[in-house]
Amino acid sequence: MDSVINRLRLVRNPARTKDIVVTRALGLILFCCLALIPAWTGAWAKTVTAKSPDKNITLTVSDRDGFLTYTVRFDDEVLVSPSRLGLLFKDHHGFDRDLKITQVKRTQADNTWEQPWGERQFVRDHHRELTLDVTSMAGPARMMRLRFRLFNDGIGFRYEVPDQDHFGAVDLIDERTQFVVPSAGTAWSIPTRGWNRYEYHYDTTPVGDLTSVHTPMTFRTPSGIHAAIHEAALVDYSAMSLKPVRPGVLKADLSPWSDGILVKTQTPFQTPWRTIQISRAATGLLNSDLILNLNEPNALGDVSWVETGKYAGIWWAMHVRDRSWGNDTIHGATTEETKRYMDFAAENDFIGVLVEGWNIGWDGDWFNNGDLFSFTKSYPDFDIETIADYGAQKNVRLIGHHETSGDVTNYENQLDDALTLYAENGVRAVKTGYVADGGGIERIDENGIRQYEWHDGQFMVDHHLKVVREAAKHKIAVNPHEPVKDTGLRRTYPNWVSREGARGSEYDAWAVPPNKPEHTAILPFTRMLSGPMDYTPGIFDLTPNERAPLRKDMLRNSVESRIQTTLAKQLALYVVIYSPIQMVADLPENYAKHADAFQFIKDVPADWSDSVAINGEVGDFVTFARKDRNSNHWYVGTLTDENARSISIPLDFLDSGKTYRAELYRDGPDAHWKTNPYAITIEDRMVTARDTLTLPLGASGGAAIRLVPVEAKPAVN
């Protein structure tokens, strides 16, 4: 009734009616304007593009609607669909929305740098760089910088937060980085946040079925593009895993501190590079130097004291239960046993002997009692000074070992004394260990309270770098097992020579199941993209748990634990799985039984002037050729999964016009990892760069080749 009365009043008052009509018209215009604001925002958004030097990769970055996104195309195909970027902090305004690109800078570089050791001596760094200043348009004034580098083999990008008002110490609680990739693709991955760190069999799944996974995570799109997501230069930050938000939408997932904070830092700071290696062929990933190129140059100066080569060790005997780590009647780390291994190393020109179990702390439940380890006190039957003197006479160094059982505070408290002891006894490399079979990595905080941290959280990232830097002061190289993953820091700290970070040969001694035949056909395309691995190859007794124990009271591991390769495949691993320090892992007496095959291990180097991935498919097979840094010899390794196959190896990497003697160690007739693993054919052939070798490989088989130039005979008058 009231509304009717009001309408009547309007009719009786024309002037009032006119005012209301105008007001309504203005309101309609205002409503339309407000409705168009999102469209305006999109219309005025800044979109920036950049291309790789060869123009095959196109990056697009946008601030549309106040959200930062990036897109990556390869060969005109979308590889990464629009993916969010941003950082969030606990007590500070972050960079998530209301963002605007305010400045764009472009640079480029093309230079070559030299590695003191590596897969190749000289590395080309050819990239275009796009740097974006990003400002928040709401809340306190603040800005960050996004830096992208585009290479022909992929892209890297990172966040940089400069010193500015409203910032100081910051607690990062979320990194919003996404990777939106085709969900129908195929992925190869291992799970993250597990008790066993990185030591899992790789899963082959659709991208859309991924759970939380470690990086490098490799995938192939339905059209056949290969790509791997990882990170470079992981310093003062937490390691990144990938967590699926929706099928194909992967988000950066950082390992948290025990209190839930992801990263504790202060401005100015920068994140590690987020990397995407890209190639049409799977081998393109293997030939990529992107991770190394995104790290800083050598920070140590002269590192000529870093020694590459092969080493033996008192190690495998404990895994197959011939010896023990603890100080009992079958203790492995004795003075006399170490001398025996040093004799073996000297006879075969190996650089050193690793000794595990020499120091106090191995007795009892050492898995859970890392605080009992002493890193300067040895068992009574191990005399480090006598051993060091004996090794010096043989030109063989003692290689040190520090197992922490994850008690990092105990180790850091003794670190300087431990490294000093090694330096005084001529040790030039130390293998560290972080088994941490309890609740995680242990530390004592500033209040004396025991805390447990993830093996790849910021605490351990900082710890590993501390050990590497301290070791460098003593001219000692570091080879951590149970490590944080590799991100190319060996370029900056060349004494960080290798690491584990995946299932190695030890799993063939006692794991059920042991490493699968496909395992070493997956590793080059996944774990090995990050850097060298101390896989510890060269096992010649392929059924170690089927022979009788040395003593009646000794226990053998399950017979299901065995080496699921042929003998020739063990030789191929020295070329395929790269490390500048390669272990000759089996017992000396087992090599004596196969002296002809052992010759390849004696010959193959561990440092290269060049490396080329010739062919391969993820999880199926792979072939590498590498050139010795100290001669004109080339070496080839090829291996297959559980399927026997014929491999063709073009030799066009050889010098044109030269003849080479190819010394072949290949699977023999009917070779099969399970039924006929020792079948091996050793032969010589004369070849040139115009030739192609076609080699039959048995199930989980392989072949290793040494190519030696043949000097031309002088002409006879």
Local structure of 288: helix, strand or coil: coil
Question: Tell me: the pLDDT tens digits for 251-283?
Answer: 999 999 999 999 999 999 999 999 999 999 999
Residue 422 reports pLDDT greater than 50: yes
Residues 298-347 pLDDT 10s = 999 999 999 999 999 999 999 999 999 998 889 999 999 999 999 999 99
Taking the C-alpha atoms of residue 177 and residue 228, their distance in angstroms, rounded to an integer, is 16
Rounded Cα distance between 228 and 246, Å, is: 19
The band of 547, judged by pLDDT with boundaries at 50, 70 and 90, is confident
Q: What is the pLDDT of residues 62-71, one digit of tens each?
A: 999 999 999 9
Question: What DSSP letter does each residue of 544-556 carry, written as one string?
Answer: GGGSPPSSTT--P
Q: What is the CA radius of gyration of the chain?
A: 30
Pairing mode, if any, of strands 429-433 and 397-403? parallel
Closest to 542 in 3D by CA, of 316, 340, 315, 312: 316
In this predicted model, what pLDDT tens digit does every residue of 177-211 receive, in sequence order? Answer: 999 999 999 999 999 998 899 999 999 999 999 99
- Residue 594: both structure tokens together: 């196969």
Nearest to 573 by CA among 637, 618, 526, 525: 637
CA angle 570, 573, 578 (to 5 degrees): 155
pLDDT, tens digit, 9 for 90 and up, residues 434-446: 998 656 899 998 8
347: Cβ contacts below 8 Å, ≥ 6 apart: none
Q: Which residue in 293, 395, 412, 416 sits closest to 352, CA to CA?
A: 395
What is the full DSSP assignment across 383-419? -HHHHHHHHHHHT-EEEEEEE-TTBHHHHHHHHHHHH
Mean pLDDT in residue range 211-218? 98
Both tokens assigned to 50: 């950049």
- List pLDDT tens digits, range 635-682: 999 999 999 999 999 999 999 999 999 999 999 999 999 999 999 999
Cα 349 from Cα 516, distance rounded (Å): 32
- Length of the chain as a residue count: 717
Residue 328 confidence (pLDDT) = 87
Per DSSP, 710 falls in state P
Percentage of residues in the chain with pLDDT exceeding 90?
87
Would you say 361 and 371 are in contact if contact means Cβ atoms under 8 Å apart? Answer: no
pLDDT at 31 over 70: no
Looking at every residue in the chain, the average pLDDT score rounds to 93
DSSP 515: -
> Burial of 91 by CB count in 10 Å (0-12 exposed, 13-18 middle, 19+ buried)?
exposed
* C-alpha dist (Å) from residue 53 to 109, 127, 162, 321, 497: 10, 6, 29, 55, 31
Instruction: Give the tokens for residue 166.
Output: 């409203």
pLDDT digits (tens, 9 = 90+) for 589-646: 999 999 999 999 999 999 999 999 999 999 999 999 999 999 999 999 999 999 999 9
Tens-digit pLDDT profile for residues 550-561: 766 677 888 889
pLDDT digits (tens, 9 = 90+) for 673-710: 999 999 999 999 999 999 999 999 999 999 999 999 99
Report CA-CA distances (Å) from 627 to 232, 293, 526, 623. 26, 21, 23, 14
C-beta of residue 112 within 8 angstroms of C-beta of residue 122: yes
Q: Is residue 681 classed exposed, middle or buried when 0-12, 13-18 and 19+ CB atoms within 10 A define those classes?
A: middle
Residue 506 known to be catalytic = yes
Average pLDDT in the 476-497 region?
98
- Is the model more confident about 713 or about 352? 352
618, 188 Cβ separation under 8 angstroms: yes
Q: Where are the beta strands (DSSP E) in 162-255?
A: 169-175, 178-180, 186-189, 203-206, 217-220, 226-232, 240-246, 249-254
Q: What is the pLDDT of residue 439?
A: 66
pLDDT at 43 over 90: no
Rounded to an integer, what distance in angstroms lies between the CA atom of residue 312 and that of residue 300?
Answer: 28
Both structure tokens of 323? 């010896």
Among residues 506, 546, 617, 683, which one is catalytic? 506
